[in-house]
Structure 1
Amino acid sequence: MNKRNWKTTVVAALVVFLFAVLTYTTGTGGTFHYIENPLRDALGAKNVWQREPDTSIKILKIDSRSLDAIGQFPWDRSVYAAVIEKLELGKVKAIGLDVTFPEPSKDPKQDQALAEVMRKYGNVVLPVNFNFPAKQQSSGLLEYDRIEVPSPAIQAPKSQLAHINVFPDNDDRVRRLIVGLPEKSGEMIEAFSVKLANYALGDTEKVRWDAEQRKWYRGSSPIPVNSRNQVITQFYSEPRQEKDLSTGYDSFSFSDVLSGKIDANMFENDIVLIGPYTTALQDEYMTPMSRAIKMFGVEIHANMVQSILDSRFWNEAGKPAGIAILALVVLLAAFLFGTFRGRAALFWFIGLSVLYIGAFIVANEALRIYLPIFYPLLAIILMYVWSIVDHYLAERRERGRVTGIFGRFVPKAVVDQMLASGNEVKLGGERMDISLIFVDIRGFTTLSEKLEPEQVIQFLNEYLDVCTKAVFKYNGTLDKFIGDGVMAMFGAPVKYDNHAEMAVRAALEMKKQTASLEKRLMQKLGFTVRFGIGINCGPAIVGNIGSEELRLDYTAIGDTVNLAARLESNAKPGQILISDALYERVKELFEIESMGEIKVKGKELPVNIYQVHAEK
């Protein structure tokens, strides 16, 4: 496994570990439940035309109209008894009264009226309310402080009692039905919606609690509840459907049924829920069906009744399964983004995201399983971002490697400037004004005869190192090593106006730095070697020559180059010879001695030469 794949695997493992910790140490939805849950809602929600609320479930609304007609709430309990009587005469299947009566009425006759209908009709359900503390101490069973039951004066049979509690998720939205809550004795109290739905279900289809197996069943099928006896259910209506009755449950004003304005026979074989349907009575909750509008408790119960009748329950992928999915997604993303780059990586990023969203929708619709959605998508995003960062870092490393290699020929500042230009390296050159320096070791042949080959190489490398450092110190470009000599140029590829001065200073630096080497060689062998240096300036063609596909050589050619080489060949050990053209540019800066005229190969006329001694 190469270093790059190793790093990607480590990052992938860290991501999986992070998500595992988040999943195991946080509650429903994980740390990012405020994103996870809305994503689930958006991808799992049905369109309005697909919901189709059950027409056999109806709501009697205790709305503002009823409050105006009957009076201030709470009402006389005989009022409820009267409406229940009317509905029973209309052959209703079941009645759920979502109004609590924890205290006896001041007028015993009111309680007696309600008690009589409870004795007379066994399909009337009254609510039990569990009072939960503000914060649950654990993620296990729901803890409660006390239970509010109907006043004993009503004489409601226990078989006709059910809890009306809903418990929101971490984002304060109700998505789950609490199928049952245990009393201190351990006996289960069924949910209000469960009790009502059971009146419409056959004996083999009813929802029941199996105390031995500690499981809830609907018929013979287990209900996928969590440790709190909660199960995710379906919503079939949107909040406050009085604005659009065509898409919600059939609802009627309580006062219209009481007054006889609405015939009770229209409720035949229906499940009727009676409850608050106005904000003033403060019985409303946020649901996945709206980001802003709350849903009344009685309508939430109606939706849960239909979920039970339709047996539409959703399971959640367990934490081990969720972590396994995360691991698979992360490793797949790591492989794809590590293999493909650029547009291909972007294609796989989009494709993998869409593929996982599709898997979520299929699992939700066909299997009724909620897969983790936010964490895998975030993992894909993180792995894609990491691949971009890794690719960038790899390019930086490669650039650094190239810079390091090229930096052996030219100074780092020159390399950086060439890379920053963004220009491609191509065959060809341009005419530039430059200075060229040729260096050769005088006496190298004699030295080679007296030393072993390994010692010769060591000595040569030391001398060439001095040359190279001097060239780079003054922003020169190392063109090439020529046996025991060096060719360098100043003013290319980066242009400098004072390139002639820089070339001379580099030559003086070489002479200075070789003094210790010359002394050491004299002590060891009894003789030494010294540099002969020639420098010229003027126009030359500078660029890349060679094969564009195989090898290029960045160099300079022209008469200026040839003269510099001829000056070096005429330089005695320790001499720095310069041309007349270069003398004119640097004569004010250095101590220079005229050496007269010499005849050089390739020139018809003699040329004036000068020797540089030191800086002024």
Structure 2
Amino acid sequence: MRKRKWLLTTAAALVICLFWSFLSSLGTGGTLTRTESYLQDKVTQQSDAERAPNVNIKLIKIDQPSLDNLGQFPWDRSLYAQLISMLADAGAKAIALDVVLAEPGKDPESDAIMAETMKKYSNVILPVVFNFKARQDDAGELETESISYPADTIGASQSQLGHINVMQDQDSTVRMLTVGLKDNEQQMIPAFSVKLANYLLDQDHQINWNESKSGWYRGNERIPVNNRNQIATEFYTKPREEMSAETGYDSQSFFDVLSGNVPADYYQGDVVLIGPYAPGLQDEYLTPLSSTLKMYGVEIHANMVQSLVAGKFSTKADPAVNYVLIVLLTLLTILILERVTGAKAFLVYGGLAAGYILAWIVIYQFKSLFITFTYPFLAMTSAFIWSVVSHYVTERRERSRVTNIFGRFVPRTVVDEMLASGEEVTVGGQRRDISVIFVDIRGFTPMSEKLQPEQVIQVLNEYLDICTKAVFKWNGTLDKFIGDGVMAIFGAPISQPNHPELAVRAALEMKRQSAELEERCLREIGVPVRFGVGINSGPAVVGNIGSQMLRLDYTAIGDTVNLSARLESNAKPGQILISEETLARVKGKFITETIGEIKVKGKEKPVLVTEVLGEAEEGQEDVQLGENQLHVGREGA
């Protein structure tokens, strides 16, 4: 049994581990993946007090007022050249234009002015856009279909280029910064944010691609990018919140700066990002900060710049760690819960769940490492559910087994009452009004002398089976077998107002059912084996007697029981003797014959005894034979 349970438990643990590991390996962006992303978003969110935008990162917005004053897109490129020149001359550290200029402009002179500006100011960054294949051959790669560079007429150098690709997860949310992408010649093009962050970092912390080591470094520290050169980004501002020095990146309207309403020297020593900041320009993305409100691309780049400057890089643990966690949590849960049941199992599971949640948060806070939460947690929960169900099924099976076994030694009614009460079995009893029946086989000794022991047992078992079935048929409690005799109780443990009648009917049932066996015994062994039955009714103490720790016996004790036993000992073969008390309670229901008073052991006075001959006919009120005469009383007589 234990080996079978161990095998089942092992198989369950294996199935749980394989199931959740398989789902985890798919990473298909379903509900669980979205849940994982949601939890990571929540733990990375910073409070208003923690959100402190870098004051040296400023935005110039191509907003609706600018569009109203300068006209709709696309603008003449001389406008960009003019603003860039103003900012550069005023001492801005770097200027990034988040506007794609992939095609030559309509006015060649404007492109020439822009080209001259790019040549004059090396700290100007223009965007490169990678166009990826709609269907990637390898899920772990980013295969490029085409790359959009600034138009040749603008004349931007390689050092003035940075890609502006903002990668969205499968739920259309931007969480990752792609540090760099390789062009068709396998040359690494840094992200817009990388180029700008280097203007805010000192020489010892510059971010660069190390070709020989195939990795990105911030100074001497390797940046833990994934196989797509991505790193999780922090967000320091909420989407579309009103920009101010206190709550977000300083942002001014393109037109205000160009027209001089905001002086250019306001940006001295700052990194400036110029980009779309109006709904109609379609440069908006969801971020972990909101599932409905989008953030403009130029502000996302600003957050990425600050994230790189801060150098706090959160990473995801290797998939192998996830599989190990699934296995460990599954086995730990099952092993612990194999020893704990009931309410304690829920407490243990709650403790394990709380411990894992705490560990998950602490590891991120102190190590900036995301271990997978959803799949190991669900594996642990599955193990918990398995353990609870397994314990329940085992207990039900064990209860059924014990009930069946126990029911062969004590009455089934006693077993049911004990199990239903939910209480421990204890020594003690209570006074009850009951009927007690004793049955004994007459002629058992002569039969034993003529038969082999195996035959004796066979015959005895057949007689005892008849007695047992009769007692159970009439809702009695089989108290015990006493050698070749039987003791049964009616009226306990389940109360029965008509228990004397039930006891007599059970005795008559025994007499009827034993006729065939009696005839066979007489024919085969020449001995007429018959029953002698005694029945008495009255008060008795009913309950458990014996050893509290070793063995208990459910029985009845008292004078009522003793008299029943004495009546049985005086019964002749085939006789059913009842006491005066029982007769008074079943009067009119059976055909009886008065035997008279007899002297029994334990009684000072003689006891009136009556024999039950059968059931009274329908409509008869009283049928009694006595002094060799038949007395009949009928309704209305």
TM-score, normalised relative to structure 2: 0.88
The C-alpha deviation readout for 1:299-341, integer Å capped at 9, x for no partner, is 1111111222233222211111111122112222222222234
The answer (yes or no) to whether the contact 2:243–2:249 under 8 Å persists in 1 is no
Structure 1 letter corresponding to 2:114: L
Aligned to 2:537: 537
Aligned to 1:476: 476
Q: Distance in 2 between matches of 1:134 and 1:592?
A: 101
Aligned to 1:25: 26
Structure 1 letter corresponding to 2:509: E
Structure 1 letter corresponding to 2:429: G
The C-alpha deviation readout for 1:257-311, integer Å capped at 9, x for no partner, is 1112222223233221111223332212111223432221111111111222233
| Unpaired segments ≥5 residues, structure 2 | 618-637
Structure 2 letter corresponding to 1:68: D
Q: Secondary structure at the match of 2:429?
A: strand
Q: Distance in 2 between matches of 1:244 and 1:573?
A: 111
Aligned to 1:565: 565
Matches within 5 A, 1:94-133: 94-132=94-132
**1:615: Cα distance to partner?**
7.7
Q: Distance in 1 between matches of 2:500 and 2:74?
A: 104
The C-alpha deviation readout for 1:545-566, integer Å capped at 9, x for no partner, is 3444444332222333222212
Q: Secondary structure at the match of 2:68?
A: helix
Structure 2 letter corresponding to 1:236: Y
Q: Distance in 2 between matches of 1:278 and 1:218?
A: 34
The answer (yes or no) to whether the contact 1:410–1:472 under 8 Å persists in 2 is no
Q: Distance in 2 between matches of 1:323 and 1:523?
A: 78
The C-alpha deviation readout for 1:217-265, integer Å capped at 9, x for no partner, is 3344333222322222222222223256413222222222111222222
- C-alpha change, 1:202 and 1:424, in structure 2 (3 Å) is closer
Structure 2 letter corresponding to 1:167: M
Q: Secondary structure at the match of 1:48?
A: coil
Aligned residues: CA RMSD: 2.9
Matches within 5 A, 1:17-96: 17-27=18-28, 32-96=32-96
Q: Distance in 2 between matches of 1:55 and 1:38?
A: 29
**1:600: Cα distance to partner?**
3.0
Q: Distance in 2 between matches of 1:570 and 1:288?
A: 94
The answer (yes or no) to whether the contact 1:475–1:502 under 8 Å persists in 2 is yes
Aligned to 1:384: 384
**1:490: Cα distance to partner?**
1.4
- C-alpha change, 1:293 and 1:513, in structure 2 (3 Å) is same
Aligned to 1:253: 253
Matches within 5 A, 1:37-436: 37-132=37-132, 136=136, 138-201=138-201, 205-211=205-211, 214-242=214-242, 245-342=245-342, 344-409=344-409, 412=412, 415-422=415-422, 425-436=425-436
The answer (yes or no) to whether the contact 2:322–2:376 under 8 Å persists in 1 is no
The answer (yes or no) to whether the contact 2:244–2:250 under 8 Å persists in 1 is no
**1:34: Cα distance to partner?**
1.8
The answer (yes or no) to whether the contact 2:20–2:376 under 8 Å persists in 1 is no
Structure 1 letter corresponding to 2:440: D
The answer (yes or no) to whether the contact 1:438–1:568 under 8 Å persists in 2 is yes
**1:126: Cα distance to partner?**
1.5
Deviates more, 1:48-57 or 1:310-319: 48-57
The answer (yes or no) to whether the contact 1:201–1:309 under 8 Å persists in 2 is yes
The answer (yes or no) to whether the contact 1:599–1:607 under 8 Å persists in 2 is no
- C-alpha change, 1:613 and 1:182, in structure 2 (3 Å) is same
The C-alpha deviation readout for 1:26-79, integer Å capped at 9, x for no partner, is 247x76012111212223434333343322222112223333333333322211
Q: Distance in 2 between matches of 1:352 and 1:510?
A: 61
Q: Distance in 2 between matches of 1:186 and 1:519?
A: 107
**1:3: Cα distance to partner?**
5.1
The C-alpha deviation readout for 1:368-393, integer Å capped at 9, x for no partner, is 22111122333333333444333433
Aligned to 1:15: 16
Q: Distance in 2 between matches of 1:352 and 1:400?
A: 32
**1:343: Cα distance to partner?**
5.4
The C-alpha deviation readout for 1:334-365, integer Å capped at 9, x for no partner, is 22222234554444333323322232233223
The C-alpha deviation readout for 1:489-547, integer Å capped at 9, x for no partner, is 11211112332333233323333444454455445433242222222333333223344
**1:417: Cα distance to partner?**
4.6
Q: Secondary structure at the match of 1:128?
A: strand
**1:86: Cα distance to partner?**
0.8
Q: Distance in 2 between matches of 1:213 and 1:31?
A: 37
The answer (yes or no) to whether the contact 1:598–1:609 under 8 Å persists in 2 is no
**1:135: Cα distance to partner?**
6.0
Q: Distance in 2 between matches of 1:124 and 1:477?
A: 100
The answer (yes or no) to whether the contact 1:334–1:383 under 8 Å persists in 2 is yes
Structure 2 letter corresponding to 1:420: A
Q: Secondary structure at the match of 1:86?
A: helix
The answer (yes or no) to whether the contact 2:129–2:149 under 8 Å persists in 1 is yes
The C-alpha deviation readout for 1:557-608, integer Å capped at 9, x for no partner, is 2333222212211222233333344345445555544444434334413313
Q: Distance in 2 between matches of 1:43 and 1:564?
A: 79
- C-alpha change, 1:615 and 1:90, in structure 2 (3 Å) is farther
Q: Secondary structure at the match of 2:242?
A: helix
- C-alpha change, 1:344 and 1:584, in structure 2 (3 Å) is closer
Q: How many residues align?
A: 615
Structure 2 letter corresponding to 1:299: E
Q: Distance in 1 between matches of 2:244 and 2:17?
A: 46
Q: Distance in 2 between matches of 1:523 and 1:189?
A: 111
- C-alpha change, 1:241 and 1:31, in structure 2 (3 Å) is closer
Matches within 5 A, 1:435-454: 435-454=435-454
Structure 2 letter corresponding to 1:252: Q
Q: Distance in 2 between matches of 1:615 and 1:192?
A: 108
**1:22: Cα distance to partner?**
1.0
Q: Secondary structure at the match of 1:286?
A: strand
- C-alpha change, 1:558 and 1:246, in structure 2 (3 Å) is same
Tell me the percent identity.
54
Aligned to 2:613: 612
Q: Distance in 1 between matches of 2:611 and 2:513?
A: 22
Q: Distance in 1 between matches of 2:168 and 2:499?
A: 78
Structure 2 letter corresponding to 1:98: D
The answer (yes or no) to whether the contact 2:166–2:178 under 8 Å persists in 1 is yes
Structure 1 letter corresponding to 2:19: L
Q: Distance in 2 between matches of 1:229 and 1:523?
A: 100
Aligned to 2:507: 507
Deviates more, 1:339-348 or 1:470-479: 339-348
Structure 1 letter corresponding to 2:99: V
- C-alpha change, 1:151 and 1:515, in structure 2 (3 Å) is farther
**1:88: Cα distance to partner?**
0.6
Q: Does 1:494 align with 2:500?
A: no
Q: Distance in 1 between matches of 2:28 and 2:427?
A: 66
| Unpaired segments ≥5 residues, structure 1 | none
